[in-house]
Amino acid sequence: MLSWLLVAAALLLTAAVVWLMRQLKPPDVKLTAVRPDQLTAGEQRLRVGLSVQNPNPLPLPVLSMTYRLWLEERPIASGEGTLRRRVPAHGEAAMEALISADARHLARTLPGLALMPQPWRYRLEGTVTVLPPLRLGYRHSGEIDLKGLLRLAASLR
């Protein structure tokens, strides 16, 4: 009898997770700030401000996030972090994350970007973990020019 109850509970939990995965819409994650955090010989850490908007009628618990940042379709930085934040239903929350870039890769990439006309296109994408087995993907694209990049860099000082 107990084994049947355990099987039924496991099936019910699986059905609830599957239903939740189909009902939840991915959050809209926008880049709001960027500034260098630490520069070493092999790695550049960037402090990135994010605006996370929840389009769902339920609060969205953000346990962790992964991030990937491209500038003109060139990979610039990536990272992941534990955030333990809650975004209200149909609401928004500001978050901050550290992402890492390979300093040598940046040294090769940035001079080429400097020769490209502005504004530059950027893309931010990754996943938001709301339950340990449940991850929602996000993707946001936009444009930024050098003045905007400097404003973003100064915004977290």
pLDDT higher at 156 or 101: 101
Share of the chain above pLDDT 70, in %: 85
| Residues 75-115 pLDDT 10s | 888 888 888 899 999 999 999 888 888 777 777 777 777 78
Q: What is the pTM of this model?
A: 0.72
Mean pLDDT within 55-64: 91
C-beta separation of 127 from 135 below 8 A: yes
Average pLDDT over residues 9-28: 71
Task: At 114, list the tokens.
Answer: 């400097």
In 3D space, the residue among 124, 102, 115 whose CA is nearest the CA of residue 146 turns out to be 115
Q: For domain 26-155, which CATH number applies: 2.60.40.1820, 2.30.29.30, 3.40.50.300, 3.20.20.450?
A: 2.60.40.1820
Exposed/middle/buried for residue 125 (C-beta within 10 Å: 0-12, 13-18, 19+): middle
Q: What percent of the chain has pLDDT over 90?
A: 24
